[in-house]
Structure 1
Amino acid sequence: MDSYQYYYAVAQGYSEEVAKNRALGEVANRISVSIRAQLTDQQTKSFQNDQSIVTGSIESKVSATSKQIDFTQVQVVKKSTTANGDIQVLIKVDRQALYDNQFRQFNELNSKISREAERALTAEIFYKLKVANQISALIDKAKEKLVIVKAINPDVDDTAYYNQYTNYQNDFAQASENAVIGFKYDANSKSLVELLKKYLSQDNFKLGQQNANVIIEVSTDAKERSIKTSDASLKNLTFVERATIFKVKSANGNVISSHVVKTKASSSQGFDDAVQQIKAYDKMIREQGALPFVSGQG
């Protein structure tokens, strides 16, 4: 029976270490009950009209969150040998030590979120856009830790944290809504810019030259390269190496980010067609996302 100070569990295994780990698994399962209750409440508020979404996502989140519990100050209170030779242990886990460790980890995440979010929210709009996903990922991790913290100590008031995270995410959503992205590009970059426009439109960004508050300048330097081969099918191809420079500027001309992407391409239709090939670009954008590709964060 658990007490206010300790979690207790009994388990057995072929060694003391195995028995101890199984007992800790029992403790984790008990904490998971509280974790499940919290996540169910959160998800129900988010998906009021579809309980199947709630049930499916909850179980995977409970499992993932529970695995983050790293136990400290575990004591083997009693150890014995069973009739079949297994080791049986009774363990106790200090609740306060467990809470302190989990809250420390949460607090480190929360402090990083606060620093990064406050810096972003006073920066140029494109900077907000490019860090929004990173900060949202940190917020998700912090929420997982906060769920564990509250499962260990239900008296923790987590309202202010959740409100702050909601405010940050609302601010980033507003930045996305306010962004108007325009392009300036050279002839070698025409097909790449059209590809970027497609992906940015799919991400619900507004595009336009007039009133643009984010200007993406794209220029591509291309050189033909020779390939020594005995393969007849390759002899008919033109191969090029491309260096594409991205400069992202604010409406008043401030450079927010700048970087170079190097790619290779080929075509049976000659040099100009090889330069416009988008296969390599498309693969990179699908893997990284359009904004990380442009900003160099991919």
Structure 2
Amino acid sequence: MESYNKLPASISNIVNYCTNHGRKYENYCPHHDKLCCPACISIDHRSCIGLLLLQDVLKTAKTSVLLDSIESDIIDMKCNIENIIQDRQQNLVIINDLRNRYRLEIKQVRSKLNFHLDTIEENIFEDLDANENKVKREAEKLITKLSEKKKVVEDLVRNISAIKMHATDIQAFIGSKSIEIRLEEEEKYLQGLTEDGSFSQILLKLNINEKLSNMKSTIKDFGNVTIETSQSSVVLKKTKTKLAQKTLKNQYYVQKPFYNITLVLRSIITMPVSMARSWLFRG
């Protein structure tokens, strides 16, 4: 009873009778690999050849090649599963290493992009400052020149006032002509500034590179991640149960002795007496 309790339920629940017909198993059919009761033989195995007595088969049940082969296959199966688990765990380690490597690579690309953007940003800042300084220099130069012209005009205003108050008639006549000529010269200078665009409103205009402006629409992602597969390194150990089953069939298959053979008349051949004699003599 103690040894019986050590059996797993799947084994201890096995019965020695046919659940379909309620009769005890008496034979084994190697062709269908099934236990048979007398009813099974008459219904399902009527044409089967080589039915074996179950008592003969069971004599070596625990020492048969099949049981040893199944045990070996179970051990191989356990080894296969362990190898697969180990391979999957190693694969997970590789995946984690790849993820860390690719994250570093992404950050390096981002760093290069940041460095490049910082560089071209600095370049545009320098260009902006240079253009501003150029405009400032030209404007300051013009302002300086106009300041000098302003002093000249102020001198002319003072001279006119002095002529009105203190000059004689001849001095007023000749002096006004002189001031008029000088005034015309200053007017020509201002007219020249108008014609060469010196009075044009000067502005700075920024043109952002279209590729940068359209970065959101043209560069929608950093890249993409795909899953690839390669040939597995796991080599499964093949089971040997089918070969053992074939060996088992050969082991238990016993030909019937000649004395136990029953002859059945199939047909009658009629021959002339002369032919029969000739055949008998030749034989």
Q: Name the TM-score, length of structure 2 as normaliser.
A: 0.17
Q: Relative to total residues, which structure has the larger helix share, 1 or 2?
A: 2
Which protein shows a greater Rg? Answer: 2
Q: Name the TM-score, length of structure 1 as normaliser.
A: 0.16
